Structures are given as C-alpha cells and as structure tokens.
Structure 1
Amino acid sequence: KNMHMASTLNPYRVGTQPLFASEEVRLRSRVCIELYLDGQRLDLLDFIRRLENQREVEEQLLSQEDRRLFETILNQTVITKLSHRINNSQEWTQRMSGIMEQLNTSMGLRFSLVWKGKPADQQKELDTGELLTLLRKNPMVMGDADRQKITDHFRAKINRARERSQMEATPATYSELMREALDFRNWFTFRLFYQKGGAEKQTKKELTDSAFNSFSGGEKAMAMYVPLFAALAAQYAAANHAEAPRLMALDEAFAGVDETNIESMFALVHELGFDYIMNSQALWGCYPTVSSLNIAELWRPQNAQIVTVLRYHWDGHVRRLEES
C-alpha cells in the first residue's frame, strides 16, 4: 500500500525543506513538505487546496459528461446496434446449445449452454434484464425515473472503471470508460450444464470446477472440446452456406487426451462435418471413426540439413504411404 502511495505521488516530486537552519542539528526538527503541480512549487496546504479546486471543476465536467452519456446511450442508432448485437449473440448461444444437446458422445454426456444476464454489482446499478428492458423503450415516451435509472447505472459503471484504472495506474479517457461501460459482453456470463447417461429425464447440473474434477479423463476432454466445436459449428450454421467448407485448424491437437478418447474426439469432429487441419507431434488420426484422411509427416534424419515430407492416406482401415 505504501509503495502504491509513493508511486502515485512521484509525479509531484515530493520533497522536504527544514524550516529553520538551526534545527538541523537537533533531535527534533520541523520541515516544510513541498510538491510540484503544473510546474509550480507548492507547500502541502496550497497543494491540497489546488487539488480540491481541481476536483470541483472535474465534478462539474462529470455532470456535463453524464448528460452527454445519457444522450449517447439513448441515441436510437446506439440502441439499435446494441440490441442487434445482443440478439445475434443470443441466437448464436441458442444454436450452440442446440448443437451440444443433439451430440451423442461416446460417454453418454450431453452439454447445454446458457447466456445469463449478470445481477447488479452495486446499489446504483441495474441487473442486465432490467437494463435491457429500459434501453428498448422508446426514448420519446420514457419517464424521468427511467432516465435517471439508466444514468445512475452507467455513472456507477464508469466511476468503478475509473477507480480501477487509477488503482492500476493506467489512466483512461472518458470515451474509453464509456466504451467499456457500453460493452454488452460484460453484461452477461456463460453457464455450462451437463447431463450424464443420456437420459432425458436426468436433471441438468451446472459444470462447476468440482463437477469437472470428478470427471474421467475422457469426460474432461469432452467438456473442453464439445463447447469449442459447438461454438464453431454454430457460427458456420449462421452463415447458411451448406456448400462451403467448414474449416477448422488445431495446433497441438488433443494434447493431453489419452489414446482411447482421441478416437471419440475425431468422431465428434466428423459428426459436426468439419474440414480440418491438425498439427501434432504424435497424432496420426488413424481411427475407425475417420473414414478418410490425408497425412503429411515431416521427417528429418538426425543432423540433416533438410526436412522431407512423407505423405500417407488413411482410408478408414489401412494407412498407406503414397509415392511421390
């Protein structure tokens, strides 16, 4: 804490001067604390007064910025764009969750996803549901009470962001703080649920850290890769071009997944219809769940100056070396 305070005061070049020269040799002495503000040397009392005056000016400016903030938020263009993006994100989440629920994993695990609005963090803030309801109202018929709720909400958000930037010693402009407050991605949180056994009557449970840690190695792999693949599949589904390739690239594919469960991963990839490129130090991909696969092995003999590419083809049953 003291180190943070010292770093905060560094720009003001804090120094001390003895009040009386004769006191330098005494056990006790009195000193004058001096600081620099806007290039002027000030004693501590004048420095505090100047800061208080600056604060009053900033508070007046903030009141003006609050009005500008409200006008910006209620600008029909901003509301329309926000609503459009939120609706698109909700539709994407629903598509993604639908894909996950339809997947038949080899372990009988089913997953689903909920994009849930966050509750209010502070007294002046609104929860996401109430905020969206107010923002979607026609500004022409909105009452003063609703206007004040919106203003108070975003003022609280901006003040908290400003305090955080000051604590982290990363000053932000008012426009940057406003942009952060209007970033709707921070208004929601994702919650992942799972069902075991594939039974429709089984209750969905939230995939918490403790639940994840109770999974087997294969179940953990499914819990990591199913949402990832479903998110990509949902994006391709939104494009609505069935004839286009559904490309996916994985570096160090399925690292940490044991051999038994890698086959299930490939089954999942093929069930979602991906066209993929995977890179791995040890992975071959020759599994019964893979009907056709082209493989390129980079081979470099010890201390050789060149790298040779060996090409193979897997037909679902046999891997064959192709002639160059």
Structure 2
Amino acid sequence: MQPTPEGEVPLWRAVNFDDDVPTVDRAGIEGALLASGLLLATVTADANLRAPDGQVLIRPHGKLASAPVTGVLVPDDASGLPAATVTAILERIGYGAEAGTMWVDADGSWGTDVLAGRHQPNAAEHIGAAARAAARARRLAEIAEQLTALDEAAQARQGAREEAQTALERIDDRARKAPVTRDVSSARTSAIEAAGRAESAREDADKAARTAEDHRSQWAAANARHIDICSHFNLPTGSNELAEALNALAEVDRACAAAVRTTQELDRRLSLHAGAVERLAGERQSRHQLEKAAEDAWTLWHGEATELESIRETLGGDAAEALANLKEAEAALKDRSSELSTAQGFLAPLQHDCGVAESQAATTADNAEIARTDLAAAAGRLVRRYALAGLVAAATGSSPEPLELPDVGVATVQAAANRVRAAVGAGAAAVSDTAVTRAEQVLDHNLTGTFDVTVDVEDGVHLVEVSDASGTRTVAEAADELDRLCQQGRDALSDRERRVFTEFVLGGVAEELRRRIAQAEHLIDDMTRRLGTIRTSHGIGVKLRWRLAESADGDIARIKELVATDARVRSPESTAELTELLKARVDESFALDASAGFAAHLRKALDYREWHYVEVFILGPTPGLERRIARRAKLSQGEIRFVSYVTLFAAIDAYLSGLPDATRALRLILLDDAFAKVDDRTIGELMGLLVRLDLDFAMTGHALWGTYPQVPKLDCYEIRRVEGSAAVTTHVHWDGHNKHLRAAR
C-alpha cells in the first residue's frame, strides 16, 4: 500500500457506518468500495476524492447521486476532516444499482459508467474504529495462532533433530560393529548368487506355468475334438466306457482275425478244389481219349469179328457178293463210328454243364427258400409295425387304413410296401439311436410340468406316449388334440371378447399411439423452430423433417391416418377398420415368433419409430435454399461439423424428452475434442443451443474456454505441462459475465 500524501485522509478512515446498518450489509458495502477503488482513495482538503495513482474520482461539484450512501455512511469525527467535506463526497456516491455515476450496493456489487463488478467479504474490516479494532484483534489472534503453530513446528523440528541425532549415533555404533569387508563381500556374493538362483527358479516356474497353460489349452482342445469324434461315431466319452468299448473291439478284432484265418483256410481249400477241378478236366480229357482209343480198338475188333463172321457165313457162297456186303457193312460202320465220335464229343460238355446247372439250381433253391423266409419275416414286421399305435399316424398325419396280406407272395408284399411308401412319402435321412434318444430327452425336458413322456421300444421302434390327467395318448393323437384345442380357442372368441379387445385397442393402444406420434411431431417441429435461429458465420443452418419411411406399406399409412382422429369422433366403420389393421399387424408379428409374449409383439408391431425416418436438410447460405446432406453439398469441414453437431444435439434432446420419466433423466452429453475446426462465433451458437435444450455437457478441446454470453455458468479446467515437469491445473469459473480464477481441486 502506498503512503498517504500529507494533508489527505483515506476514505476508509474518513467515514463510519450508521448504527442501523446490519453487519451483513456493512461487509457488502465495504467490499464494493474496496473493489471499485473508492475505499483506498484519499480525501483532499478541497473535497476531491483521488485514487492512489493521482486520478480524481469524485469532485465536489460533480453530479449528485439519486440515492446517496449517506443513509448508511456518515463522516468519522476522528478523521480530522470537516464533516461537510466528507458528506459532499458521499452524496455523489449512489447506494443501489444505477443510483449514481458511481454506485455500490449491500450485496457487494458496484458500478461506474463503464465498469461493474462484485466483491462480498465475510466482514467489514476498514470502515469504523470498531471494525478496525475487531479486524486487528482477529489478525492478532491469527498471528498468535501462527506463532503457536511455529512454536509447535519448532518443537517438532527439535524432536526430529534429536531423533535424527539418536539415529546417527545408532548408525555409528552399528558401523563400528559391522563385519569386515571380506565377510560382507562374501555374504553379498552369496546373496547375489541366491538371488540369481531364485530368479532362475522364478523364470523356470513361469516357463513351467506357461507350458502347463499351453498343455491345458491343448488338452481342452483335444478333449473338445475327442468329444466331437465320440459324438460323431456314437461312442462314450468316459475312459472306463471307452476301455470297455476297446475290450469289445479287441474281441471283435480277435473274432475278425479268426474269421481271416478261416477265410484263408477256405481260400486254400478253394485253391485245392480249383486245382482238382483243373486236373479233373485233364483226367476227363485223358479218359475221353482212352475211351476213344478203346472204342476205336473195339470198332476195329468188331469189324474184324464181323468180317470173320461174314466170312464164316459166306463160306462156300458167292465171293463177289460177300465182298460187296462186306464193303457195304464197313461203310455203314464207318458212318456210325463217326456219328458216335461226334456225339461223344458233345456229351462231355453237356455232362459238365448239367452238373453246373444242377449245382446252381440247388443253390438257387436254397437262396429262394432263404429269401422266401426273409420276405415272410419282413412282411410280418411290416404288418406288426404298421399296426403299432400312433406310428403311421405320426408319419402320415392321418388315420391309417388296415394293412392286410392274404399271402406272402412277392407281388402282394411289394404292393403293400408301395402303398406304405406312398402314404409316408419320401424318406428322410437315417438317424442313429443316439440322435433318437437325444430327441426324446429334449421332448421330455420341454414337456416337463405339462405332460409325462413314456418311451417304449417295440419291434425295434421307439414308441413315445404322452400322458396327463385326462389319459395317455400317442404323439400324433396329442398333436391332433392340441390342434383341436387351439382351433376351439380361436373359434371361442366371442363378441364380448372382441368388444374387450376393441376397447383395449381404442382406449389404450390406439390413443397411446396417437399421443406418441403427435408428441414426436411436436418435438420435431419444436426442434426445427429452435434450430431456425442458429446459423454459421456463412449463413449455414439446419432443418429437420419427420417423414413416413418408404418401406412402410399402405396399412401403416392407413393406421397413421386413422389414429390421427380422436376416438370420440372417429366413425364406427373407421374404428372397426383400425381394430382389424392393428390386430393384423400383431398377428403377423406373432406368426414370426410364437415364443415371445403378447406385449413384445404389440411393441414390435406398433413401434411407430420404425415407420418413420428423420431427414436433415441444409439451409443457406442464400435465403430459401434447402439441400439434403450429400457429397455434392460442397460444405467446408467446419460447416459439416456444425451440421453434425446440430443434428446430434437434436437427436439427444428428442431421445431424452421422449423417455417415460423425462423429468428424472440425466440430460448430459460428453464430447471429446469438441468443436474442432468450428469458428468461435459458431461455437458460441452451438453452446447456446445446448443451454436452450437444457443439456448439461462435459467436453474436452484445444483452447476451448466456453466463455460466451449464451452460457450463463461454466467451469473450465486447463491442464498445463512443461516437458520434464508435473502437470498443473488451472480452474476458471465463468458466471456469464466475468471469469474468476479459483483453486483447482
């Protein structure tokens, strides 16, 4: 504080408070005088009030205040100044806003022609001897407390010094008693080696842990593959069960090995048989040759014998005639011998073919008998299975006709099989017993609490029956019964129930739908009106339109048209049409997913938000120009960001305003690197839009202060850091008019 010039008295010493002024007002008045510079100004002998820098603030012939501070401040006789001089200055200081060229108020606010501010101390400390004495007493008390704290700190330092001295003495004592360097070095070396071993062990443990983790992962993957493979081949997954299966496979393998040995022996014997058959053919050929030779010899002998007999008979007869007879007989014999040879040549193959045919005929007869037996067994199974309760009905969906087989002939059985195949239809892929068992388990789980599931295996067929309090039924009968009950439920919709549904739709859903659509249209119109006042520095603005989506069909457009009319004035025909349209949409949604509840289908079918879309238009820069957002819009990056921010803010406001309890919703938006590449004026407009939308915000940005007139209150934290030093936070509070530096917490 500068020294007071000789002959001048500071204003705080020349005035005092009126006795009726409350303590709180005294603090505010003194704070306003101090902040405005009047309190430290000095009163001169010629009744001027001069600032410490020499500037004259108030002259005795200046304009009088309409409501001067003389009502709360009076001249202090102890100052040595004439009361008239002090009063002349006080009469030119107003009490209350705009009460004079220079004014102060009890709340600490003050103002001049060009400046204004506010300062509210806790208590008055300068005006009045009592206030100064109290301030001096408080200051002395604070000094006494500080001195006490300093004494306590000195005592603490002395105690710490003594403790440090004691510690130094202990250190010296231990240093004297410390082992020699060689022992310390040896111990240090041992410690380093132990630490190395420990580190190596730790690394080995980490490596072992990683290896164990890899092995665990590999085991898990292998186990998953094992389970998949076992499931694929219908094998158990447990080790004991697999061991039993392996033993069974070993038995099968031994049986297969025995079968292989038997087959090999059979092959050997077949080879011997084939060799014998080949030798038999050679022996047969040899026999045929020998028989032919014997036949030729017999023929020769027979010819000679005949000739001899002829000679005996013709002995004494005509020699020429006898000779002619002989030649004739020889020629006939030669022809018969040739014919006999030819016949014998045909006889051997025919005998072989006859043997083969007889063997094949016997084999075929055996096979035919086996096939006849199998056909009879298959026909019996077909008749038995066809007669099983519910089997054919489950496969065909209708009641079966009796299947009769008057005989087990091939034609009869084939006709019955074709009849069954035609009734059942194209066969599906075969399934394993495991898949059938799993399906039965799923059925039993799904029907728990409603039906009891019983499974019997008869003649290789799994028969499934469901039972409840009313009795036992086959699957087909249960399905037919459920279909019948469902149809009865559909047919049981009475006029009263339809009236209840109509009243529900009209009194609840339709009216709520109409209210929501009207609310959405109001939100869009209100947002468009709010956005109409916001433009960039180049005149770019944003406009929103809420339109029916192109994917919405004619029924949706008709529903929207019908619900737009209040139920109280809607015609009965329109009401009936609206009911049918809404019910049709709910039924359509229910048909897609019958497992969901009615409320879910109602929300999905009547979600008006899916019927519409919001279209964003860019306005300007010339008046009346509207464009859709597109690549050819030719906007700068800042303008594109402006359009994006405005649309984002509008969407957030619409969402929060449409919540069921909008008054309790946290209307907060978080932005990182906010308003980058947007000019300062437009940033002010955007932040003003957030204020008008009642959206609180927390955002980060480069050189983003937010101190705009559109923002009534804001706290800004600036993080500063010089390389190599810690970060420092600066807290600045903006009250809509001035920035205030505050301690960062």
Residue 229 (1) aligns with residue 642 (2): no
Deviations 1:229-276 (A, max 9, x none): 356778999xxxxxxxxx964313454x53445762333222664477
Aligned partner of 2:613 among 176, 189, 192:
189
**For the Cα contact (< 8 Å) 1:126–1:153, is it kept in 2?**
no
Deviation at 1:173, TM superposition (A): 1.0
- Match runs of 1:1-324 below 5 Å: 35=440, 36=443, 38=447, 39-40=452-453, 47=475, 50-51=478-479, 53-55=481-483, 57-58=485-486, 61=489, 64=493, 67=498, 68-75=500-507, 78-118=509-549, 121=552, 126-133=557-564, 136=567, 138=569, 141-143=571-573, 146-165=574-593, 171-200=595-624, 202=625, 204-207=626-629, 210-211=630-631, 215-230=635-650, 249-255=668-674, 257-261=675-679, 264-270=682-688, 273-274=691-692, 278-286=697-705, 293-297=714-718, 310-313=730-733, 321-322=741-742
> Which moves more between the two structures, 152-161 or 290-299?
290-299
Q: Which amino acid aligns with 1:71?
A: E
Is the CA contact (8 Å cut-off) linking 1:252 and 1:281 kept in structure 2? yes
The separation in 2 between residues aligned to 1:138 and 1:160, in whole angstroms, is 29
More helix per residue: 2
Tell me which amino acid in the other structure corresponds to 2:453: Q
- Secondary structure of residue in 2 paired with 1:102: coil
Q: 1:60 to 1:93 in 2, by over 3 A?
A: farther
1:77-105 Cα distance to aligned partner (Å, 9 max, x none): 55444433432332221111122223222
Task: Give CA-to-partner distance per residue, 1:283-320, whole Å, 9 cap, x none.
Answer: 44237856875313478999x9x997531257999988
State the Cα distance separating 1:73 from its structure 2 match: 0.9
Q: Structure 2 vs 1, CA of residues 81 and 287 (structure 1 numbering), >3 Å: closer, same or farther?
A: closer
- Does the Cα contact within 8 Å between 2:709 and 2:737 map onto a contact in 1? no
Give distance in 2, aligned partners of 1:278 and 1:30.
Answer: 63
- Which residue identity is paired with 2:683? M
Provide the secondary structure at the position in 1 that maps to 2:731: strand
**How many residue pairs align between the two structures?**
276
Higher-Rg structure is 2
Deviation of the 1:29 alpha carbon:
7.3
Greater relative contact order, per chain length (Cα 8 Å cut-off, separation 6+): 1
1-structure distance, mates of 2:582, 2:710: 55
- AA of the residue aligned to 2:704: G
- 2-structure distance, mates of 1:296, 1:277: 16
Equivalents in 2 of 1:277, 1:134: separation in Å? 38
- Cα deviation for residue 112 of structure 1 reads 1.5
SS of the equivalent of 1:193 reads strand
Q: Give TM-score, length-normalised by structure 2.
A: 0.30
> 1:111 and 1:191 mapped to 2: Cα distance?
10
- Cα distance in 1 between the residues matched to 2:483 and 2:550: 31
Deviations along 1:36-91, one digit per CA (max 9) or x if unpaired, are 2624257699646644653554455457498354331122x554444334323322
Checking the alignment, whether the CA contact within 8 Å between 1:120 and 1:128 is kept in structure 2 is no
CA distance in 2, matches of 1:50, 1:301: 82
Q: Do the aligned partners of 1:109 and 1:219 also contact (CA within 8 Å) in 2?
A: yes
Indicate the SS of the match to 2:536.
coil
1:281 and 1:30 mapped to 2: Cα distance?
A: 64
Name the SS of the counterpart of 1:111 in structure 2: strand
Distance 1:73 1:189 in 2: 25
C-alpha contact 2:547 2:612 (8 A) present in aligned 1: yes
Partners of 2:690 and 2:483 in 1: CA distance: 58
Change in Cα spacing, 1:264 to 1:78, as seen in structure 2 (3 Å) is: same
C-alpha distance in 2 between matches for 1:108 and 1:277: 26
Structure 1 counterpart of 2:13: none
State how far apart, in whole Å, the 2-side matches of 1:299 and 1:47 are. 78
Q: What CA RMSD, in Å, does the superposition of the two structures yield over aligned residues?
A: 5.0
CA distance in 2, matches of 1:40, 1:73: 41
Identical columns (%): 18
Cα distance in 2 for partners of 1:280, 1:288 equals: 14
